[in-house]
Amino acid sequence: MVVLLAVVAFRVFPEKEVTILSNGQAFRVSATFDTEHEALGAAAITVLPGDRLLIAGDDRHASIAVQRARPVTAVVDGETFAFSTMATTAGGALAEAGIELRPGDQVLMDGVPATERAPLAGVRYASQSVPAVTAAAQGRPVELSVVRARPYVVFIDTARVDIVSPAATVGSLLADLGMTVREGDLVRPSLETPLAAGMTVHLAKARTVHITLNGQQTSLYTQAETVRDVLAVLGVSPGPEDILSPAREAEVFNGMELVIGTTEVVQEQMAEQLPPPTLFEEDPSLPRGEVRIVNGSPGERLSTFSVTYRNGEEVSRAFVSSVVTTAPVPARHVSGTRAVSAARPTVNLPGFTGSYREKVNVWATWYNASHGAWSRDDPNYGKTATGVIVDHGICAVDPSVIPLGTRFVVPGYGMCIAADTGGGIKGAKIDLGFPEDAGSNPWHTGYVDIYILD
């Protein structure tokens, strides 16, 4: 009889195959009479308060999806609420709990600012800082808190702004208004002051003044109300003959152009080099005709001038005093006086072989017509002290050492005639002339023995 009843029951109430989806897992079980309870029991799945079941199927197959409610802890107005919700967003969860969001309120999800539409899974936040692992991913309750917005009055200069904000400090309240506080702005109370409902905040924006002072341009961000105040900040006081536009009494406005030109008298110092003098000596131990040059060193003189500047430009300069800070060391021109045979010494050089009167060691530089003080279209362009045009074979000398008209031979250069002078050619120095097409560096400056013929 039992077997017969079982067979009849199986035919009248056939088993259903049930697929259950829960927490990302799939279970396949069988149920006969109560599909929902039998299947969940067979899969050992417990439905918790707030969970939702989605059931679909026919006579032979069924599917059950278990949607788990998310646990939420909400802190609002000093109270803590714990509940589970099927809502997918922060705003929806709060609404299910009967928590009303007012205009300006701020929502924090797990301590991070979030929008009302932020998913409880924590994938989209109002700030750029996102937790590495969300509460939902760990199975912990999602922590929601609501920071209530409060009313404040903000005066920006003279303009009144009424605002409702969840800001905690004066600085964050001004940031909510999109205000950037720059150095020079005045804020009362200070930026760090905690806010209290109904508080009034004052922000006095400084003004930008574009200043041209003695030809130099700058900008000043200031609370100054008049040009007189700006002058006090700058520490300048233009006199009756100085430039000031606009006048002292003019009111400062943002973007004002202010031109100031003052008269200033300063002392300036200028250093100049003192060329070494040349001492001419005789040495009986040297043979007649031989010359030794002992080079000296230049000195320095420091001159002081009183210089007057008006509107940044020099208008006068007066000499005050001068002092020699370093004395020049004289050069020595030592000539031998010991009697020698009448025969003159000879030298064999490339381009010259013959006798010479004396050998002198000198510092040799070079120059061409472009090194002079005249322009190319001037009749004096390239003209030397003796009137000839500078070219190869024309050299500048110090006439007190080598008289003009003296012929001498320079190894590596050739025959030269002393036909020019120069401000920098003092003592045992010569300047070798070259044509302009000789190039930019036709001679290596340095010491060289020259052979004087005359």
Closest listed residue to residue 422, CA positions, set 279, 324, 275, 303: 275
**CATH class of the region 2-67:** alpha beta
The pLDDT of residue 342: 64
Which pLDDT value is given to residue 341?
65
Per-residue model confidence (pLDDT) at position 132: 43
| CATH 2.40.40.10 location in the chain | 344-452
Instruction: Judge whether 340 and 407 are in contact, CB under 8 Å.
Output: no
CATH of 266-285+292-329, one of 2.20.230.10, 3.40.50.720, 3.30.70.1230, 3.40.640.10: 2.20.230.10
d(CA 449, CA 297): 20
Regarding pTM above 0.85, the answer is: no
Distances (CA, A) of 126 to 109, 112, 141, 192: 10, 8, 20, 24
How far is the C-alpha of 301 from the C-alpha of 346, rounded, in Å? 44
Name the segment(s) of the chain with CATH classification 3.10.20.90: 70-147
> CATH code for 344-452?
2.40.40.10
Strands 429-433 and 394-397: antiparallel
- To which H or E segment does residue 352 belong? strand 352-355
Positions of the chain with pLDDT lower than 70, given as ranges:
1-14, 24, 39, 121-139, 289, 340-342
Collapsing DSSP to helix, strand or coil, 37 comes out as helix
**Residues linked to residue 203 through DSSP beta bridges, in sequence order:** 156, 187
The pLDDT of residue 161: 95
The 3-state DSSP class for residue 15 equals: coil
Residues of the chain with CATH 2.20.230.10: 266-285+292-329
Q: In CATH, which of 3.90.1150.10, 3.30.200.20, 3.10.20.90, 3.20.20.80 is domain 70-147?
A: 3.10.20.90
Q: What is the dotted CATH code of the domain comprising 150-204?
A: 3.10.20.30
Can you give the pLDDT at residue 139?
A: 59
What is the predicted pLDDT for the residue at 134? 43
